[in-house]
Amino acid sequence: MQRPAILMHLTAIAEQFNKLKKEHADDILSAFDVDDVKGMYDVRTYIAHDYEGVNLAIVEWIIRNGLPKFKEQCQSIIK
């Protein structure tokens, strides 16, 4: 039950960044590393098109390493 929820949240994060990109919200996007944003969308695409074959080691790395960095960046924007 937890795995689908985690994957859907990762997908939702990427979708929000895609909306920001389409809205030309460069002031927000500039706070994030371009490669990280691309990576988020790449993960979203991989999840959406190969749900059963998602490499859980990659998902674990994202949770342990990527999300804390992402959280710090979000908090710096909020301040």
pLDDT digits (tens, 9 = 90+) for 7-54: 999 999 999 999 999 999 999 999 999 998 899 889 898 888 886 788
Q: What is the mean pLDDT of residues 50-62?
A: 86
Query: Where in the sequence is the domain holding 67, given as residue range(s)?
Result: 2-78
Provide the H-helix boundaries in 1-79. Answer: 2-22, 26-29, 34-49, 56-61, 67-78
| C-alpha triplet 73, 60, 16: angle, nearest 5° | 45
CA 11 from chain centre, in angstroms, equals 7
Predicted confidence at residue 46, as pLDDT, reads: 87
Number of domains in the chain: 1
pTM of the model: 0.81
Predicted confidence at residue 1, as pLDDT, reads: 66
